[in-house]
Chains A and B, each alone.
Chain A
């Protein structure tokens, strides 16, 4: 098990250099320049605590879970269970039994689409409707379509905010589910989830929240939010790839049929009939990513030990700095200017295509994302084919905001 215990930082005195020192990759060079990593919305970097925990697991505790009576399997099983308890606790869930380990947010949504939607009573020959929003990631659109549901989007304003009046009306039209992102990966908009849950529940509509972008950047309490399903990915919250969490209210998990069949999800198997394990085991067929769960456990422990308030203020100041600095660049248009916004800055620049901007910034060691960010319908709605996105994390600095601005000046020289 990991020996790392992060010490809480002193409130109000956020020491970004000390935090950066825990992320070895941030001290490396990219294209011969100091790495400036501004793509945390795509995937976060990992602190040593996480890297070491995974290594320690493979060095000392590796065995399959729920299979052996020997000590290694016992240790491995205990690590798996501890990770589940940590994940539940981290998002304010009452019971670890409500946490299902999945590969990531995408698999979590696919699981709910296959398993939950199949239980929704519907009039004959009518496909269920899932209410989504125009700002959803493809992972919160396509899984619903795959199981035959109709996706209806709640409109988004030019600023990137949800139209709550339309939401209220559409919730009254009898959708089977509201599936909404907590924070937009493309625009940074923070959606009013608690309010949406109250509105949806007043119409008897359950709510799934895509929390992939929220869990890394703000304290999340599923009980306070009042949602029915909440999902997030390990790799965006400073943990490893290949592991993620689906949290669901116990009543749903009890009623939902298994998603995949295999080992670990069974109770009794015969050639005639099989009965299933209770949730969450029922949804975890096959040997899972045990080391991934150990890494996620370490990541949540690491993040939980940070001063979340100080980190939040730091990210807000990076957002404000970047917004102000970039808005002053001639020909630059900020995309997504919601009032409640995370440290995600999307933009376009006159005469330069986002991919060329990203390539020229790459030449300066700066990593940004260019493209549609898996939100084609949103880009279509905004009349854009692609944007550049710089997304920030606690380990980013104000110097890096300046490096981005200097890089963009260079792009303007090339394409001016």
Chain B
């Protein structure tokens, strides 16, 4: 198996084909968009955060490659139910996985470790991190 095959894990292909939470929220409390002008990938993320700072709903829209779609899809499934602080922690962990290709806490990342193979391809890392950057931006306290 080549390293490129490792990037396209079956769970990634499956999420690309049937993305979860691929919709818009009626009245999201948080919203952000991300785009990669070099490849044309676009993603927009809606979040519903309750008074306790817990993400009660999250959805995404956009067009892009399998890596960015699957990443956005899996991201929405893991973020639901998390607090915004936990979401930001998860962003840091996922970002570190993408930058280094390894993680000290595979359990904390759960199914997101499927993206480990992407780290070997610096040109594609931005595809996987694009939706996460959008969420991070959406949750950033506004000045």
Co-assembled chains A and B: yes
Known: A353-B66, A370-B39. A359 touches B121 (CB 8 A): yes
**Does A170 belong to the interface (CB within 8 Å)?**
no
Per-residue interface assignment for chain A, residues 389 to 416, with 1 indicating a CB less than 8 Å from any chain B CB and 0 otherwise? 0000000000000000000000000110
Query: In angstroms, how far is the closest chain B Cβ from the Cβ of A404?
Result: 15
Which B residue's beta carbon lies closest to that of A352? B66
CA distance A105 to B40 in the complex (A): 24
B66 partner residues in chain A, CB cutoff 8 A:
352-353, 356, 415
Q: How far is the CA of A355 from the CA of B36 in the complex (A)?
A: 12
Roughly how many angstroms separate A385 CA and B66 CA in the complex, as a whole number? 14
Chain A proximity of B113: nearest CB distance (Å) = 19
Asked if B65 and A356 sit within 8 Å, CB to CB, the answer is yes
A354 contacts across to B, CB distance below 8 A: 65
The reply on A31 being an interface residue by CB < 8 A is yes
Q: Which residue of B lies closest to A353 (CB)?
A: B65
Assuming the contacts A363-B3, A386-B39, asked whether A353 and B64 have C-beta atoms less than 8 A apart, the reply is yes
CB of A371 within 8 A of chain B? yes
Q: Given B4, B17, B40, B63, which contacts A359 in the complex, CB threshold below 8 Å? A: B4
Q: Mark A380-391, 1 if CB is under 8 A from B, else 0.
A: 000001100000
Inter-subunit contact B121/A32 (CB<8 Å): no
Known contacts A360-B8, A386-B39; A31/B3 CB under 8 A: yes
A contact residues, range? 20 to 34
Q: How far is it, in angstroms, between the C-alpha of A288 and the C-alpha of B121 when the chains are bound?
A: 36
Question: Which among B17, B65, B121 has the greatest number of chain A C-beta atoms within 10 A?
Answer: B65
Asked if A371 contacts B38 (CB within 8 A), the reply is: yes
Contacts of B52 in A (CB 8 A): none
Closest Cβ–Cβ distance, residue B14 to chain A (whole Å): 11
**Contact call B4/A362, Cβ cutoff below 8 A:** yes
| Complex interface residues of chain B between 58 and 112 (CB less than 8 A to chain A) | 63-67
Contact A356 B67, CB 8 Å, known A371-B39, A386-B40 = yes
CA distance A56 to B63 in the complex (A): 49
Question: Do A372 and B124 touch (CB < 8 A)?
Answer: no
> How many B residues touch A, CB cutoff 8 Å?
20
- Complex Cα spacing A370 to B66, Å: 14
Chain A residue with the shortest CB-CB distance to B10? A414
Using a CB-CB cutoff of 8 Å, which residues 257-310 of chain A contact chain B? none
Known interface pairs A370-B39, A386-B40; A32-B2 also in contact (CB < 8 Å): yes
Interface flags, A225-244, vs B, CB<8A=1, else 0 = 00000000000000000000
Verify A31–B2 contact, CB threshold 8 A.
Answer: yes
Query: What is the bound-complex CA distance between A9 and B11, given in angstroms?
Result: 53
Q: Report how far A416 CA is from B13 CA in the complex, Å.
A: 10
With a cutoff of 8 Å between Cβ atoms, the chain A residues found around residue B121 in the complex are 359
| The one of B4, B5, B7, B40 that contacts A385, using a Cβ cutoff of 8 Å | B40
B45 proximity list for chain A (CB < 8 A): none
Q: Which of B19-60 contact A (CB under 8 A)?
A: 38-41
B5 contacts which chain A residues (CB < 8 A)?
Answer: 363
* B127 interface contact, C-beta 8 A: yes
Give chain B residues whose Cβ lies under 8 Å from the Cβ of A386: 39-40
- Separation in Å of the B118 CB from the closest CB of chain A? 9
**Could you tell me the distance between the alpha carbons of A9 and B39 in the complex, rounded to whole angstroms?**
41
Q: Closest CB of chain A to B104's CB: distance in Å?
A: 27
Asked if A359 and B7 make an inter-chain contact with CB atoms under 8 angstroms apart, the answer reads: yes
**A residues within 8 Å of B by Cβ?**
31-32, 351-356, 359-360, 362-364, 370-372, 376, 385-386, 414-415
10 extra A-B contacts, CB within 8 A, seeds A353-B64, A364-B4: A31-B3, A353-B66, A355-B65, A356-B66, A359-B8, A364-B2, A376-B40, A385-B63, A414-B13, A415-B66
